Amino acid sequence: AARLLLEIRDLPDVTRDGTRVELYANIGGPEDVEAVLGSRGAGVGLFRSEFLYLEKETYPTEDELFSAYRQTAERMGGREVVIRTLDIGADKTADYFGIEKEANPAMGFRALRICLKRPEIFRTQLRAIYRASAYGKVSVMFPMVASLWEVEEAKAMAFQVREELEREGIPMGHVDLGIMIETPAAAILSGELAEKVDFFSIGTNDLTQYTLAADRQNDRLDDFYDPRHPAVLRLIAYVAENAQKAGIRAGICGELAADPSLTEVFLKMGIRELSVSPSFLLPLRKRIREICLEETENDQGV
C-alpha cells in the first residue's frame, strides 16, 4: 500500500472530472516542512504557531519567531504558508503568560482574545510574520473568532504593524488575511465575515466542541463529540456557501478534513482546500483522484 501511495505522490490533485483541489498540510514548526514537501503538499494550510511559545520558558523574541517563519516560508519555496496567530489557552498553556486558572478554559481567555487584550504579544508576532513575508508566500490567520469587531480590531493591528515596518524600510510581500471558522457564531456570521477577509479555514475540532457543547478533551464524551454530526456538517456547508457568494476561499483544517468518507461531501459543498497532517496527504490525494463530482450533482449528503 505504501508503494501504491508513492506512485501517486507526484500526480496532480484533481478529481476524475478535472476539479482541482488544494491539499495543504498542518504543521507545528519548521521541522515539519520536510514531511510536507515529501508528500508534495501544495502549501501549509495551518501553521500552529503556539508550539514555538509552548517550548519556551519566556516569550519568544520577534527575531526568534521571524527566523522560524522565514525558514518555513523559504523551504516551502513560494507555496503558501498560512501562519495562525497564537492559539494559546485552554489545553495549551505556558506559565509565563500568567493567565489565571479558569473553570471553563475552552470558553475562556484564549487565542485571539488574549492577543487583543495583550497587544504587545500580538504585535511582536505580527511583526515577525510580516517580516517573513519577504521570503515566501505568507498568509496570516486569526483563530477563535466569534464576533465581527474582533476581526476588525485584529486587522487594524495587522495594518498598523505593516505600516510601521514600511516606515522602517523592511521588505515585505503581499499577505492575505484570513480567519478560522471554529465557533458556531463565526459560522452563522460567515456571510458578513466574508466581506472582511481573504479566506476562511474551518476548524472542525473546535467547531464540533462548541456546536455540540462537548469538550473535545473529555474521553467520556467520545459518543457525543461527533464531528460528523449533521449540525456540524450543515454549518460547514453554510460557510462554504457564504464564501462562494463573497468570492473568497474556504478550506477545512480540522481533523475532519482527513476523513476520506467525507471528501466527496466537502467537494460538493464547494470546498476546494483541505489541510491535514502531512501523513494524510497521500491517502487523501488518492481519494480525490477517485471522485467524480459530475455524477451525482446536488447531492450534498447533509
Sequence-distant (6+) residues with CB within 8 A of 250 are 181, 199, 200, 201, 202, 239, 240, 243, 244, 270, 271, 272, 273
Determine phi and psi for 105, rounding to 5 degrees.
Answer: -60, -30
Binding residue for ligand PEP (CB under 6 A) from 13, 32, 80, 206? 206
Nearest to ligand PEP of 154, 253 (CB atom): 253
Give the nearest distance from C-beta 167 to ligand PEP in angstroms: 34
**If binding is defined by CB under 6 A, does position 215 make contact with ligand PEP?**
no
Is the Cβ–Cβ distance between 211 and 184 less than 8 Å?
yes
Residue 243 Cβ vs ligand PEP, minimum distance, rounded to whole Å: 17
Radius of gyration of the chain (CA): 19
Contact 140, 174 (CB under 8 A): no
If binding is defined by CB under 6 A, does position 211 make contact with ligand PEP? no
Chosen from ligand PEP, Mg ion, none, partner binding at 86 (C-beta under 5 to 8 Å by type): none
Looking at beta carbons only, is 46 or 126 nearer to ligand PEP?
A: 46
Q: Is 182 in the site for ligand PEP (CB under 6 A)?
A: yes
Quick check: 284 and 267 in contact, CB under 8 A? no
Whether the CB-CB separation of 20 and 38 falls below 8 Å is answered with no
Stretch near ligand PEP under the rule CB under 6 A, chosen from 6-14, 123-131, 202-210, 281-289: 202-210
Residue 152: CA count within 13 A, CB half-sphere: 4
Shortest Cβ distance from residue 21 to Mg ion (Å)? 22
Question: Which residue among 13, 80, 87, 150 contacts ligand PEP (CB under 6 A)?
Answer: 87
**90 versus 291: smaller Cβ distance to ligand PEP:** 90
Residues near Mg ion (CB under 5 A) are: 182, 203, 206
Does position 110 interact with ligand PEP (CB under 6 A)? The reply is no
Window of 118-126, 204-212, 228-236, 281-289 that interacts with ligand PEP by CB under 6 A: 204-212
Residues whose CB falls within 8 Å of the CB of residue 235, separated by 6 or more in sequence, listed in order: 184, 187, 188, 207, 211
Residue 17 backbone phi and psi in degrees, to 5: -100, 20
In the complex with ligand PEP, the residue whose CB is nearer, 19 or 205, is: 205
String marking each residue 47-66 x if it binds ligand PEP according to CB under 6 A:
-x------------------
Position 133 contacts ligand PEP (CB under 6 A): no
Binding site for ligand PEP (CB under 6 A): 46, 48, 87, 182, 203-206, 253-254
